[in-house]
A and B are shown apart, each in its own frame.
Chain A
Amino acid sequence: AQKVTQAQTEISVVEKEDVTLDCVYETRDTTYYLFWYKQPPSGELVFLIRRNSFDEQNEISGRYSWNFQKSTSSFNFTITASQVVDSAVYFCALSEADPGYSGGGADGLTFGKGTHLIIQP
């Protein structure tokens, strides 16, 4: 069975600090997808990134970066120079690819329990 662990329940930092959110996953599949979603105080779920298991390249998008390491089954998320608007709950999620569908990832998402990130001004 697949599992996603976000060990940090809550993190509080001062604005402009860098912060890393940890995500560790378990799966028996060799083909899978990893995701990060953001849930701001307004409650919606905002998609941030999707990474497939064959692509271990790190990704950077503005102040956001992601470090995918298959050797440690981790997919960590770093925010550089944090801002108050980054305050939210962040979820890491895993989807095992269905071999019956090209591209896979159509199965349900298994979510971690989320990390509540508080950026203090």
Chain B
Amino acid sequence: EAQVTQNPRYLITVTGKKLTVTCSQNMNHEYMSWYRQDPGLGLRQIYYSMNVEVTDKGDVPEGYKVSRKEKRNFPLILESPSPNQTSLYFCASSLTGGTQYFGPGTRLTVL
């Protein structure tokens, strides 16, 4: 089944404790992206990647890192999480020029 998977789906952590949210797609898509969703703000792009080893900042990249060592994986790294990063995170992938398909979401709470 063609899909985008994210892990974990739910995470509660404390300020400053490094964490990684994994994202994987099995559709051989070149483009992958991370968004965060906050009440009243909709979804905003954090980082995106056009292909392996090519990443770039989206609208709200501060406090996040990403890497794209393999085509199928695009992990989101929070080196020192803070409470303002409490949010619902979505990973998405697409063929270049295609429609983005989203993972199931990761609900992160930073205490």
Q: Does A55 sit within 8 A of B, measured CB to CB?
A: no
Residues of A within 8 A of B53 (CB): none
Chain A interface main SS type: loop
Binds A, one of B15-23, B64-72, B75-83, B89-97: B89-97
A112 CB to nearest B CB, Å? 6
| CA of A14 to CA of B101, assembled, Å | 31
In the complex, number of A-B residue pairs with CB atoms less than 8 Å apart = 58
B→A interface (CB under 8 Å) = 31, 33, 35, 40-45, 48, 50, 58-59, 88, 90, 92, 94, 96-102, 104-105, 107
27 A-B residue contacts at CB 8 Å? A35-B99, A37-B102, A43-B88, A44-B105, A45-B102, A45-B105, A47-B99, A47-B100, A47-B101, A47-B102, A91-B42, A101-B96, A102-B96, A103-B97, A103-B98, A104-B97, A106-B31, A106-B50, A106-B98, A108-B45, A108-B59, A109-B35, A109-B45, A109-B100, A111-B35, A111-B44, A114-B42
